[in-house]
Amino acid sequence: MKEQHLTDTFGRAHDYLRISLTEKCNLRCTYCMPAEGVQLRDKSIFMQTDEVVAIAKEFVSLGVKKIRLTGGEPLVKKGIETILDELGKLPIELSLTTNAILVDKYIDAIQNAGITSINVSLDSLQQNRNIAISRRDYHHRVLSNIQLLLNRGFTVKINVVLMRGINDDEIIDFIEWSRSEKIEIRFIEFMPFDGNNWNREKTISFDEILHIAILRYGEMNVHTIKNAKNDTTRHFSITNALGTFGIISTVTNPFCDSCNRIRLTADGKIKNCLFSNDELDLLSTYRNGESIAPLVAQSIQAKKKGLGGMKDFSQQELAQHENRSMITIGG
C-alpha cells in the first residue's frame, strides 16, 4: 500500500521529503530570490508548527524515511524548536539545510533532535564577495558557526553555488579547505529559477570543475568516491585530504533517473520535482480534515521523467515554463 503511494510511473520510489518551513530568510542571495524580494503573504496561508508536524507524520506513515528541513531559512521559522523536537521523535533520518546564521542559537535543539549532518550554504571564502552575493554581512558569524558545528561533531557539508565571474575563481580555495578540515565541499551548478537572471553561460559545469581540480592536483591525486544510492552528488577526494569535495550537476548532468525526492512548500503544496509547476494543495486538504494520502499518490503519479518535463533548460523552454523562485520552493 505504501509503495503504491510513493512509487511513480517510472518505478522510482520516493522516500525522501524536503519540507520548506518558511519563505522568509535573513539573507537575500542573488541566485535564490529576485532583487525586489518575495511578496509577503498572509501568515495564515503557511503551515503552522502543529500542521508541519502532523503532515510530516502522515508522510512517514506512507513510507518516507528521510526528512530535510529547508526554506527560506528554516531556523527563522517560529516554532523551529518544537518542530525539531517532534520530528526528532519520528523513525526517520532528519537533516537540515541552513545558512548557519542562527546555528549557535539552536545548536542544542538541533543536536537533541538527533541530527548529525548539516548542509551549510557558503558561496565565498571572501567577506566582500559574500556580502555581494547574499546582500547581507554575516560572513564571520557563518564561519564561526561552521566551526561550532565541527567542534560539536556534526558532519558538515558546505553548499557552494558557483557562478561565472562571481566566485568561480575560488574552486581551488574551497578544495584546499577540504584538504585541511574534515568537511565536504559541494559545488552546485547554478540553476534557473524565477527572478534569478540565469543563463547557461553563468553555470560552471561539472566538467569544468573537475578539470580545474585535475589541473591543480594531477589526475593521480583526484580520486572518485563511489556513490551511495540516490546520491545527487558525485564525490571526489584529493590524496591525503581530511575532507572531500563533490559536484551537484543538475544542469549539465541531471540525476533524475534515481530521484527519490518529494517537496512540501511552506504554504503546504506538494511539488514532485524542483522544476515541476504542478502543485497540489495538501494544507487545505489537511485543514478540511481529509487524508492527504490520495493527493500524495496523485502528485507522485504525475511526476515527469526529468526536470519537471523540460528537456534542456533552453531559454525558449524556460520562457514557457513558469516556476517559483528558489526561496519559495525550498532547495
Q: Which residues bind ligand SF4 (CB under 6 A)?
A: 25, 27-29, 32-33, 71-73, 99, 121, 134, 327
**Torsion sign across C-alpha atoms 40, 84, 145, 118:** negative
User: Residue 220 corresponds to which cell in the numbers above?
Assistant: 593521480
DSSP assignment string, 9-72: TT--B--EEEEE--S--S---TTTS-TT------GGGSPPHHHHHHHHHHHHHHT--EEEEESS
Looking at 95, 98, 167, 276, which residue binds ligand SAM (CB under 6 A)? Answer: 98
Does residue 73 interact with ligand SAM by CB under 6 A? yes
Residue 190's binding partner among ligand SF4, ligand SAM, none (Cβ under 5 to 8 angstroms by kind) is ligand SAM
Here's the x/- map for ligand SAM, 246-285, by CB under 6 A: it reads as: ----------------------------------------
**What is the smallest separation between the CB atom of 182 and ligand SF4, expressed in angstroms?**
24
**What is the smallest separation between the CB atom of 10 and ligand SF4, expressed in angstroms?**
29
Nearer to ligand SAM, 160 or 222 (CB): 160
What residues contact residue 152 under an 8 Å CB cut-off, 6+ apart?
Answer: 107, 111
Instruction: State the number of binding residues for ligand SAM (CB under 6 A).
Output: 20
Residue 59's binding partner among ligand SAM, ligand SF4, none (Cβ under 5 to 8 angstroms by kind) is none
Here's the x/- map for ligand SAM, 101-120, by CB under 6 A: it reads as: --------------------
What CA–CA distance (Å, rounded) separates 294 from 262? 15
What CA–CA distance (Å, rounded) separates 183 from 174? 10
**Torsion sign across C-alpha atoms 141, 144, 148, 149:** positive
Does residue 16 interact with ligand SAM by CB under 6 A? no
What CA–CA distance (Å, rounded) separates 174 from 125? 8
Residue 191's binding partner among ligand SAM, ligand SF4, none (Cβ under 5 to 8 angstroms by kind) is ligand SAM
Residue 28's binding partner among ligand SF4, ligand SAM, none (Cβ under 5 to 8 angstroms by kind) is ligand SF4
**What is the smallest separation between the CB atom of 28 and ligand SF4, expressed in angstroms?**
6
Nearest Cα to Cα of residue 225 among 238, 215, 212: 238
What residues contact residue 219 under an 8 Å CB cut-off, 6+ apart?
Answer: none
Q: Using the 8-state DSSP alphabet, how is residue 322 labeled? A: -
Nearer to ligand SF4, 25 or 262 (CB): 25
